[in-house]
Amino acid sequence: MTSNGKHYGIQPFFVQIRDWNTHEALPGIEVGDIGPKMGYAGKDNGFLRLTNFRAPKISLLGKYVTQNADGTVSIHGDSKALYSSMMFIRTGIAGSAYYNLMKSVIIGIRYSI
């Protein structure tokens, strides 16, 4: 998000990308299919490109960041607490990686015997 010439990082937002009646992409939005992938026939992945697209302020998922009418951005909550919760999730992912590796090694050993 950029406001008054200052960049505030990546912020989540929720916008309509297709017309309700024609199901065509709205102006400034390009959507498409990536195509089939080997081994993932049941998965359908695509892409979304926003070109000269301005999302309305109401579409910002602003639990921790809000933007006022004059363009000032305010960040709610303690940044250290927000960072610590992110690090807690990351350590949980890294901590569970050994278990998944253990399962895959066991399966590999069993099939190789």
Confidence of residue 109 (pLDDT cuts 50, 70, 90): very high
pLDDT at position 24 is: 92
Among 61, 66, 75, which Cα is nearest to 12's?
61
Residue 4 is encoded by which pair of tokens?
Answer: 């008054």
Domain of 55, CATH number, reads 2.40.110.10
pLDDT tens for 58-102 read 887 777 777 777 878 887 777 777 788 888 888 888 888 888 889
Sorted by sequence, the CB contacts under 8 Å of residue 80 that are 6+ apart come out as none
Using CA atoms, how far apart are residues 112 and 110, in angstroms rounded to an integer? Answer: 6
Range of the domain at 63: 1-76
Residue holding tokens 């610590």?
84
36 and 89 in a single domain? The answer is no
Same domain flag for 61 and 100: no
Same domain flag for 43 and 56: yes
pLDDT score recorded for residue 108: 93
Report phi then psi at 87, rounded to 5: -70, -35
Number of alpha carbons in the 13 Å side-chain half-sphere of residue 30? 5
Mean pLDDT value across the chain = 83
Q: How many domains does the chain have?
A: 2
Same domain, 39 and 68: yes
Which pair of structure tokens corresponds to residue 61? 């998922």
